[in-house]
Amino acid sequence: MKRLSLMGLLLIATGVVAHEFWLEPTRFRYKSGETMTVDFRVGENFEGEYWDLTKHRAVSVLMHWGNTVKDLTAKVQPSKGKNLSYTFDREGTHLLVMQSDDAYIELEAQKFNAYLEEDGLTNVAVERKRTGRESEAGREYFTRYAKLLVQSGNRTDNTFRKEVGLPMEILIDQNPYTTKPGDYLTAQIMFEHKPLAGALVKVWGRYKHTTFLQNIYTEEDGTVRFPVGAPGVWMISAVHMVASEREGADWHSHWASMVFAIDSPTASDK
């Protein structure tokens, strides 16, 4: 398996062309009756900017727990942070899921090629070179799919492993709220409901103002396995790019992320 050891974790480099997107709660554990506030964020190192909801749109925001699904899309606020509030009325592991609209971006050739290299999108780089288009600007639509796992009360359940039917999504094999530092987690990347082999997965960990990153490529079954080396906030992210089926762009990238916590940190642990 192509993975880095815990000692091989690298401090996040700067200058990345592409940006991660994630859902950031005020904290990760709640009591029944308490309210969670969620920021929609874009950037690197668990730092960056609030997602501009005057330019982009969340087309679907759903809260899953067990077999129950609650549609929160209409409650999303186009503010700078504090984009969503949710009050827990029962115990259990809760999965918040967001899908964005399709946004358009065009990058000059050098930046687009660097972006492809940074995110392991070698299939696109090879195709651009094969067709003699590596010196052309990159035109793409991009769509974001974000998951956030939080815990209400002490009762845990299997909501964490639920496949919700996103075009691209991340599944994990163990509940983070029963996981301890030193354990391993396995994540599976799915695209169009099939395992995605050979995809670059970035596993981010944030503890006491330090961010670490593992770059791991998925196996044939779309999985990666990694050590949970420390408590704190964790994010798994991946991007997959395919030829665009819509006019106006050559490519369509799909961005997936999942955020959770180990040892239930609060925002101050970041």
Q: What is the pLDDT of residue 250?
A: 97
In tens digits, the chain (270 residues) has pLDDT values of: 343 333 333 333 333 344 899 999 999 999 999 999 999 999 988 988 999 998 899 999 999 999 999 999 999 999 999 999 999 999 999 999 999 999 999 999 999 999 999 999 999 999 999 999 999 999 999 999 999 999 999 999 999 999 999 999 999 999 999 999 999 999 999 999 999 999 999 999 999 889 999 999 999 999 999 999 899 999 999 999 999 999 999 999 999 999 999 984 444 445
By C-alpha distance, which of 40, 36, 46, 12 is closest to 232? 46
Any idea what the Cα angle at residue 130 is, between residues 128 and 132, rounded to 5°?
65
Is 17 strand, coil or helix? coil
Q: Which residues pair with 207 in a beta bridge?
A: 210
Q: What is the pTM of this model?
A: 0.90
By C-alpha distance, which of 197, 199, 212, 218 is closest to 2? 218
Q: What is the pLDDT of residue 1?
A: 39
Q: What is the pLDDT of residue 54?
A: 87
Tokens of 81: 């942070």
Q: What is the pLDDT of residue 12?
A: 35
Distance (Å, whole) CA 270 – CA 261: 11
Q: What is the pLDDT of residue 175?
A: 97
> Rounded to 5 degrees, what are φ and ψ at 125?
-60, -45
Q: What is the pLDDT of residue 209?
A: 86
Q: What is the pLDDT of residue 9?
A: 38
**Secondary structure E strands in the chain:** 10-11, 20-25, 29-30, 35-44, 47-50, 58-65, 68-71, 84-87, 92-100, 103-107, 138-152, 168-172, 184-191, 194-195, 200-207, 210-217, 223-227, 232-243, 251-262
Q: Is residue 109 left, alpha or beta, with left meaning phi > 0 and alpha meaning psi from -120 to 50?
A: alpha
Q: What is the pLDDT of residue 270?
A: 52
Distance (Å, whole) CA 164 – CA 173: 15
Query: Is 249:205 a contact under the CB 8 Å cutoff?
Result: no
Q: What is the pLDDT of residue 45?
A: 84
**Which H or E run contains 122?**
helix 122-130
